Every structure is written in structure tokens, then in C-alpha cells.
Amino acid sequence: MKDLQPLLALLAQTVHERDAAVAAHAQAQAQHLAAQNQSNELMAYRKEYEQRWGQHFKQSSSIELMNCYQAFTQRLTLALTHQQQAQARADQQVTSAHAAMQACEMRVTSVEKLIERRINEQRLHAQQLEQKLTDEFAARVSWRPPTFSPNSTY
């Protein structure tokens, strides 16, 4: 088991890295969801704003009011564009965090398999050593000259 200490330390480190990658992935997903929700809210607000003021402009309006409406609509469109870009960046972060998480999971699995192989090798070596000792003991017992007692007759 002493030989496994470096591998066990490596396993602990890779598990820690994997846990950090899982947390980073969850955080990236939360940020993506928040960006998506913000984008949806902006789109809904713009739609509602356009409908509300569209009804108002059908009745009557001044040029100044129309200019304010158009300027605000342009700012809403710009904000929506920026939010969609933020959503795309968040999507990329989710993708890269997922890839990092999978890579960490593969490292953990690889180290676990390596430890399992080493344990099996140690077990096999111990069995072979035990078999060798048993064979040597059996050979010594069978090759031992018989002991003669003084009372024995030939």
C-alpha cells in the first residue's frame, strides 16, 4: 500500500480538480441561463413597448414623441444585441466548461484504473510469493531424509 501513496495523492488532486470543474460548469450554466432570461425579458419588453406605443401612434402623436419612441426603440434593440452577444459568450463558456469537466473526469477515471491495476499487480505478486514459499516448504519436507530411530529394524 505504501507504493500507492503517490497515486492516491494524485487521485485526490484529480478529484479536487474535477469537483472544481463541475462547479465551474454549474456556474457557467447558471450564467448562461441568466443571460438567456435577460435576453427574453428584453425581447418581451420591446415587443410590449412597440405594441403599446403602436396603438398610441394610430390615434395621434407629435413628431417629438415619435422621435423619442424611435430613439428608445433603437436603444432597446442595441441592448438586446449586446445581451444576445453576452448570451453567446455564456454559451461558449458552458461548452468549454463542459469539455474541461469531461477531461477532468477522464483523468480521475484513468488514475482510478491505474490504482486498480497496481493493486491487482500487488495482489498477484503476493499470491506468487506465497505460492513460491509454499512450494519451497513442500520441497523441503519431501526431500528431508527420513529419520531413523534406534529401535527400527530393517
Q: pLDDT tens digits, residue range 25-47? A: 999 999 999 999 999 999 999 99
- Residue pair 108/11 in contact (Cβ under 8 Å)? The answer is yes
- Residue pair 93/31 in contact (Cβ under 8 Å)? The answer is yes
For residues 154 and 112, which has the higher predicted lDDT (pLDDT)?
112
**At residue 77, does pLDDT exceed 80?**
yes
For residues 51 and 55, which has the higher predicted lDDT (pLDDT)?
51
Residue 101: what pLDDT?
97
Collect all residues with Cβ–Cβ distance below 8 Å to 22 and sequence separation of at least 6. 101, 104
- Residue pair 84/39 in contact (Cβ under 8 Å)? The answer is yes
- Radius of gyration for the alpha carbons in the chain, expressed in angstroms and rounded: 38
The predicted model gives 138-152 an average pLDDT of 70
Residue 152: what pLDDT?
58
The predicted model gives 77-86 an average pLDDT of 95
- Residue pair 107/11 in contact (Cβ under 8 Å)? The answer is no
- Residue pair 87/32 in contact (Cβ under 8 Å)? The answer is yes
Instruction: Give dist(CA 7, CA 5) in Å, integer.
Output: 5
**At residue 137, does pLDDT exceed 80?**
yes
Q: How many CB atoms lie within 10 A of CB 14?
A: 19
Residue 149: what pLDDT?
62
Grid coordinates of 110:
484513468
Is pTM beyond 0.75 here?
Answer: no
Residue 65: what pLDDT?
83
Instruction: Give dist(CA 113, CA 75) in Å, integer.
Output: 57
Instruction: Give dist(CA 52, CA 73) in Å, integer.
Output: 12
